[in-house]
Structure 1
Amino acid sequence: MSFDRRKLLAAALGGTALLTTGCMTKPLRPANADGTYCYRIGKSYRPKLTCTPGPVPSAQVESQALDFGGSADRLTVYLVRKRWGDTEHVISVSTPGVAPAQTVPESFARLRLAPGQHVLTATWPEGTAGLEISGKAGEVLVVEVIGQVWAWGSKYRLEPGTIDDARERTRNLRLVADVG
């Protein structure tokens, strides 16, 4: 086999491997019969499940939320929770006067708030974290819920994100809360 032929074969194999990596993403788990959604970690006969406390929004609401559009009279905030070290805990994200959004790992939520300033608070069994946000009617904000879970404890924080990053990160995530 000539050197040029080997290079061509190696390039073809490398290109095929690169193109098929998109097919290797984890499939989205369906909602349970009771409407809740569970994030599963582990492939053993006893996987660890982290489930939403209530039913998740419908597929129609989820597809509308994936457009990342705003509401003319409300401030729209998308909470995105997808990090490699975040593998458990239901995290409640709340702001005064609004029902909390309950998130599980590898999920996202949409909050529609009154225009103005708000303090978002994330609560988990070992602590809380906060982030002050502000926006006008029709504006869309993204907040990343960033967490790490270790054997000795867990830590979470809220950080501003971008819509472009959120679109990419939510491609295979489940909408678990639609508040407001």
Structure 2
Amino acid sequence: MSSPRRRTLLLGLFGSALLTAGCATEPVPRTNADGTYCFRIGKTNRRTVTCTPSPIPSEQIEAEAKRFAASQGAVTVYVVRKRWADAKNLVRVSTSDGPAVDTVPNSFARLRLAPGAHRLTATWADGSVSLDVSGSAGDVVFVELIGSTWAWGSRYRMGPGGPVGSHERAAKLRLVADAQ
């Protein structure tokens, strides 16, 4: 093969590889004009969309939350929701004596609670599940909201998350709620 022809072939291969690399990366999740966030899955003509009912926190608050730092005088609870079979429900997570937040698939929420014991309850159209968490002032607690949605219904469970695995999953997700 001649040198000019080889060069043209290599430039063509490099150009096509460069153009298709953009298609292989996940797009940055964006907020809607009204400040809400929607999780989308499926093909464009049959897309399933699950949206937050209210605006999500700003990018500055999200960046601060992704430092996963403790809050002085409070227990910081991160609810992480990222599993392959969880693709469509709006799930409300409430506390026994405090705020409630709405989550969508592939998102996380931050709750800052008074020190002590609390009951977290996740509620969706098909049911609810609870988990007891506790902590002292300055503690950081990760909770995994694990779900699966199928044609015949949805199931969720909550469990304690590890600081490394949950932290890594949450770092790639959108903060959809920040409550005190």
Q: TM-score range by the shorter chain?
A: 0.7 to 0.9
Q: Counterpart amino acid of 2:157?
A: R
Matched, 1:116 2:90: no
**Deviation string, structure 1 residues 124-175 (Cα, Å, up to 9, x no partner):** 0010000011100000000000000011111001000012112211232100
Q: Which residue of 1 aligns with 2:18?
A: none
Cα deviation per residue 1:17-60 (whole Å; 9 max; x = unaligned)?
xxxx9x94522310000000000011222411000000000000
| CA distance in 1 between partners of 2:147 and 2:39 (Å) | 15
Aligned equivalents of 1:25, 1:99: Cα separation in 2 = 35
**Partner residue, 1:42:** 42
| AA aligned opposite 1:82 | K
What's the CA shift string for 1:80-115, capped at 9, x where partnerless?
A: 000000001110000123221100000000000000
RMSD of aligned Cα (Å): 1.4
Other-structure match for 1:141? 141
**Residue 79 in 1 paired to residue 79 in 2?**
yes
For 2:142 and 2:162, locate their aligned partners in 1 and report how far apart those are by CA, in whole Å. 6
Are 2:59 and 1:59 equivalent residues in the alignment? yes
1:90-129 equivalence runs, <5 A? 90-129=90-129
Identity %: 54
TM-score by length of 1: 0.85
Q: Which has the larger radius of gyration?
A: 2
Count of aligned pairs: 159
Ranges in structure 2 where 5+ consecutive residues have no aligned partner: 1-20
Question: Counterparts of 2:144 and 2:65 in 1: how far apart (Å)?
Answer: 16
Q: Is the 8 A contact 1:70 1:140 kept in 2?
A: yes
Task: Return the alpha-carbon distance in structure 2 between the equivalents of residues 146 and 34 of structure 1.
Answer: 28
Partner of 1:131: 131
Q: Which amino acid aligns with 2:135?
A: G
Q: Distance in 2 between matches of 1:130 and 1:144?
A: 12
CA distance in 2, matches of 1:167, 1:92: 21
Matching residue's letter, 1:138: G
Tell me the amino acid that sits aligned with residue 73 of structure 1: G
Provide the rounded CA distance (Å) in 2 between the counterparts of 1:171 and 1:143: 14
Which residue is 1:177 aligned to?
Answer: 177
Q: Report the residue type matching 2:75 in the other structure.
A: L
Dislocated runs of 4+, deviation >6 Å? none
